[in-house]
Amino acid sequence: DAKTTQPTSMDCAEGRAANLPCNHSTISGNEYVYWYRQIHSQGPQYIIHGLKNNETNEMASLIITEDRKSSTLILPHATLRDTAVYYCIVRLPMDSSYKLIFGSGTRLLVRP
């Protein structure tokens, strides 16, 4: 199963774009990239996922490099409520049980 590497922490100014990187250099062809976040004292929240194409939804955009070895989650206009730990997860193969493996994530601090 592919592992992910994320910076321990980042910060950005309110209203600016937050770009959170993730390296997954051992990802295999059928593995998706998922992003979740966890606001303090709450359960994790699904944000977005993708395979090879860039994806966008109401929360964020996901940019996956052509070789799929890294990706970036973009919060286009960060707010104070976006302060959270962001987890980049690479999906296990389909013959495994339905589980997400959470790493340490990136702690994003949005400054006023």
Partner 1 sequence: ETGVTQTPRHLVMGMTNKKSLKCEQHLGHNAMYWYKQSAKKPLELMFVYNFKEQTENNSVPSRFSPECPNSSHLFLHLHTLQPEDSALYLCASSQNDRDPYEQYFGPGTRLTVT
Binding site for partner 1 (CB under 8 A): 32, 34, 41-46, 49, 89, 91, 97-105
What residues contact 67, with CB distance under 8 A and at least 6 apart?
none
- Among residues 105, 95, 93, the alpha carbon closest in space to that of 36 is found at 105
**Of 43 and 112, CB closest to partner 1:** 43
Q: How far is the CB of 11 from partner 1 (least distance, A)?
A: 19
Using the structure block, give the residue that is written with the tokens 């359960």. 43
Q: How far is the CB of 112 from partner 1 (least distance, A)?
A: 26
Q: How far is the CB of 73 from partner 1 (least distance, A)?
A: 16
**Of 98 and 112, CB closest to partner 1:** 98
Q: Are strands 18-23 and 70-75 parallel, antiparallel or unpaired?
A: antiparallel
**Of 79 and 104, CB closest to partner 1:** 104
The answer to whether the beta carbons of residues 72 and 47 sit under 8 Å apart is: no
User: Could you tell me how far CA 111 lies from the centroid of its own chain?
Assistant: 20
**Of 14 and 61, CB closest to partner 1:** 61
